[in-house]
Amino acid sequence: MSRNLLGAAIATALAVTLTSCGSGSGDDDALEIWIRQVPNSPSHNTAKKLVAEFEKATGVKTKLVSLFDDFETKLQQQAQAKNLPDIVINDTARLGNMQHQGWLREVDKAKLAGNDKLSELAWKAAQAGDGKYYAAPFSAQAFALIIRKDWREKVGMQPPQTWDDLAKLAKAFTDKDPDGNGAADTAGFVAPAGTKRGYASWYASSMIFANGGDFLKQSGPGKFTPMVNDPKTVEAVKWLQDQFCTAKTVNPGAVSNDTTVTHTVFEKGQGGIYLVGPYVLARFVKSIGTDKIEVVQVPKGPSGGPGTLGEGENVYEMAGSSHEAEQQKFAEFAISAAGQKVGMNGDNEGPIVRLPVNTEVKLSDERKDPRWQVFADAYANAVYTPPVPDWTPFRQKAADAINAAWADCSKDVKTQMDTLATTFTQELSTQKAS
């Protein structure tokens, strides 16, 4: 059997198998909800509030499970055990992978109460490569630069307006002792540039989009061609390689780090510029100090822009549930103004709704910190990952190639990206999307 036919057969078989599964909770009366958050974290506590308000509004009994490490692996194990949870709140970029494996119920957008209140850009993140919807949008975000304002003022520079400004600021943070402790122990950038879960390509994507580049280009309905070796994409990755290798303005160990580590690196004052989403803003306000940090739009690249990565979380109704009506009710509550406001959690730490997808929720009514508006403004030009059948292998392969160029300064970026384009072509063929 060919690889394509084998993959299709497995997905079909798995979908049929999952249709016979019960609730993942082992309790037929409870709607089991999994969310990708650290247990007992502020975000977990916000999720608990959301679920409690849902129970109060509907009377539906629920069970919340927060997991972070190896979330996808544990979902895979549940699928193999024919015991998927009823609801999964997970990254928008994971839609293709879960749909490809037959884990998701299709969402009839027209029958989802409140669907017309959601932004069309957010709905794009719930749409698979076949044009159908397999989730309800729940949270959106774009990316911006969180900068140590006190350091910037110490080195006598203005907020960056260009990539050249950004490079100069990073160099000053590295060389001019912005924390004033007399030691050479600060970097310009902190970066989650490891390969785990594709972080290197995830981090690079906002700079790629800000320069007018991309990973794939849609050439027709469900059809794509590689764009990773386009000059604009190569230019962005090379600019970042220069920060790692020539200017040496990135925190040591970044090529092995994920976001969990990088958050702490930033909090410890080991670097002063963090390209990240809004979900850590309240945390940094609390741990670093509100007067010491500022949020700045990612500058337009020399060949493109504006634009940063757009992503967030969806509510996925999992296949095989015996609680289809309750799944629908939860999705409708989560996208409602009431559900969105609970998930936003005001200006407090631990929001699980970063930017509301419900257009009736006004950001400034829920959050008084004006720095959130910088992220909201960036979202207007956000670029979601392309709706290929399964984005996961593309993100991982790109991370491996980009990380290698940052970790080994002898590597030529154009050569790396040309090779990656060939790899992408093969993967598109495998997914019947070329």
pLDDT given at position 134: 97
Helix, coil or strand: residue 389:
coil
pLDDT given at position 96: 87
- pLDDT higher than threshold 50 for residue 17: no
| More confident of the two residues 213 and 221 | 213
- Would you place residue 29 in the very low, low, confident or very high pLDDT band (cuts 50, 70, 90)? confident
CB-based contact 83:25 (threshold 8 Å): no
- pLDDT higher than threshold 80 for residue 25: no
pLDDT given at position 259: 95
- Would you place residue 14 in the very low, low, confident or very high pLDDT band (cuts 50, 70, 90)? very low
- Would you place residue 27 in the very low, low, confident or very high pLDDT band (cuts 50, 70, 90)? low
Q: Find the mean pLDDT for residues 25-40.
A: 85
Q: Got the DSSP string for 346-364?
A: TTSS--S-SEESBTTS-HH
How far is residue 428 from each of residues 44, 130, 196, 390, 405, measured CA to CA in Å?
37, 14, 22, 10, 23
Handedness of CA 154, 157, 159, 164 (dihedral sign): negative
Six token digits for residue 130: 């076949």
Domain regions of the chain by residue span:
3-141+310-379, 144-309+402-430
Q: Find the mean pLDDT for residues 214-237.
A: 95
- pLDDT higher than threshold 60 for residue 18: no
What gap in Å lies between CA 211 and CA 196, rounded to an integer? 25
Q: Find the mean pLDDT for residues 226-247.
A: 98
On the question of a common fold for 3-141+310-379 and 144-309+402-430, the answer reads yes
Q: Find the mean pLDDT for residues 3-18.
A: 42
- Would you place residue 316 in the very low, low, confident or very high pLDDT band (cuts 50, 70, 90)? very high
pTM of the model: 0.85
CB-based contact 311:320 (threshold 8 Å): no
Query: Which fold is adopted by the domain 3-141+310-379?
Result: D-Maltodextrin-Binding Protein; domain 2 (3.40.190)
Question: What are the pLDDT digits (tens) for 137-183?
Answer: 999 999 999 999 999 999 999 999 999 999 999 999 999 999 999 99
- pLDDT higher than threshold 80 for residue 4: no
pLDDT given at position 311: 92
Question: What are the pLDDT digits (tens) for 335-361?
Answer: 999 999 999 999 999 999 999 999 999
- pLDDT higher than threshold 90 for residue 377: yes
- pLDDT higher than threshold 80 for residue 123: yes
CATH superfamily of 144-309+402-430: Periplasmic binding protein-like II (3.40.190.10)
Tell me the percentage of the chain whose pLDDT exceeds 70.
94
Q: Find the mean pLDDT for residues 402-428.
A: 98
What gap in Å lies between CA 199 and CA 112, rounded to an integer? 33
Question: What are the pLDDT digits (tens) for 245-292?
Answer: 999 999 999 999 999 999 999 999 999 999 999 989 999 999 999 999
